[in-house]
Homo-oligomer: A and B are copies of this chain.
Amino acid sequence: MKIDKRPLKILSTGSYLPKRVVTAAEVDDRLGLARGKSEQMTGISERRYVTDETASQMGAFALMSALEKSGVRYENLDAIICASGSAEQAIPGTAALIQKALNRPDVPIPCFDVNSTCLSFVTAFDLASSLIATGRFGTIAIVSTEIASVGLNPAQHEAYALFGDGAAAAIVTRPAPGEGSGVIHAHMKTFSEGAGYCRIEGGGTRVHPKTEQPDSEKFLFCMDGRKVFRLVLETIPGFFDEAMNEAGLGLDDIALVVPHQASGNGMELVRRKLGIAQEKYMDILSKHGNMIAASIPLALHHAVEEGRIRRGDKVLLLGTSAGMSLGMVIFEY
């Protein structure tokens, strides 16, 4: 068993959910489906949509909620990493906007964004463990804040019914001497043959509003669910085995798997394919939908709050993302 941990302790987690609850029935009505159909397709009974909330405000609330429980003072944060698949503006990045929403101009905490779409939190968590190991930063706020609802296309029933908005955050730091918290293994692969399977083509430099019809579907999320499934199911068993072998661990060593809350079918297929027991598989999909990169930290937040993980437990974050990427981190909580 090879364990070469990078020190990282989750001091606390927090979340913010938009006020507005959108039920499966409301989605059915919006899409002209029979009542019950969208929940049957996706496994999602409700999710939140923003009304007046912005991504940076949600991120700021989630950060503060986590910070209050951490015992760390805001001015002692060494970095704010926004780990999100959607951005609030083209320029600047969302981390700086979160700092601005926190309204503490006296504390110029370094802010930057990390983006690997739905895996952004996992990537930032992985990066944070190296940053803490080398002493580059002591205590880091990782914030995932996502507004999916603005980009949903009612012509794409399944994708429309999948997503929700919200934010989650974690405060991570160097563990005290003798504490075992840390990242045991991290693993990622990007299969860009699937880069077009989940996409919003507009919003960047290639498809600009000034040269594209504003009602163009290119500004909306487009997903080829069948191709996503096929690519994930083809690649994830080898990916997972390789990572577990490199970590020198088996599923018996893992107290809880926190997967990306991609969709009911997707989560179930991955769970069965990898042989993960249902009771070790964190599932908050039904009440939140797929919240892009905020799904994994929100599920982790629920796991912590519900006492499903304890200090010393080995926890596995596992996700898929547009790109398409597979990513996982095994850490001792």
Give A contacts to B, CB under 8 Å.
4, 6, 54-55, 80, 85-97, 99-100, 105, 108-117, 119-120, 123, 126-127, 129-131, 133-136, 146-147, 150-151, 186, 188-193, 195, 198-210, 212-216, 219-221, 235, 321-325, 327
Contacts and interface: CB of A to CB of B under 8 A. Distances in A.
Most chain B CB within 10 A, of A95, A105, A205, is at A205
Contacts of A6: 134, 136
A151 B206 CA distance: 11
A130 B96 CA distance: 22
A190 B130 contact: no
Contacts of A201: 89-90
**This chain: how many copies in the complex?**
2
11 contacts: A89-B203, A91-B203, A95-B116, A96-B325, A112-B114, A114-B114, A127-B131, A130-B133, A133-B133, A146-B205, A203-B203
Nearest to A99: B192
The 10 tightest CB contacts between A and B, nearest first, are: A90-B203, A100-B192, A96-B323, A90-B200, A147-B205, A110-B188, A92-B322, A112-B116, A108-B189, A111-B190
Contacts of A93: 85, 115-117, 323
A105 B193 contact: yes
Given A90-B201, A114-B114, A210-B220, 9 more contacts: A85-B92, A90-B151, A90-B200, A92-B199, A93-B116, A96-B195, A111-B190, A127-B127, A130-B130
A201 to B, nearest CB: 5
A4 to B, nearest CB: 8
Nearest to A97: B195
Contact of A209 (B195, B214, B221): B214
A130 B136 contact: yes
Contact of A204 (B80, B89, B129, B136): B89
A215 B210 contact: yes
A208 B204 contact: no
Most chain B CB within 10 A, of A112, A126, A202, A323, is at A112
A202 B119 CA distance: 24
Nearest to A207: B89
B205 A214 contact: no
A89 B90 CA distance: 10
Contact of A91 (B80, B90, B216, B322): B322
B221 A210 contact: no
Contact of A150 (B114, B191, B195, B205): B205
A202 B209 contact: yes
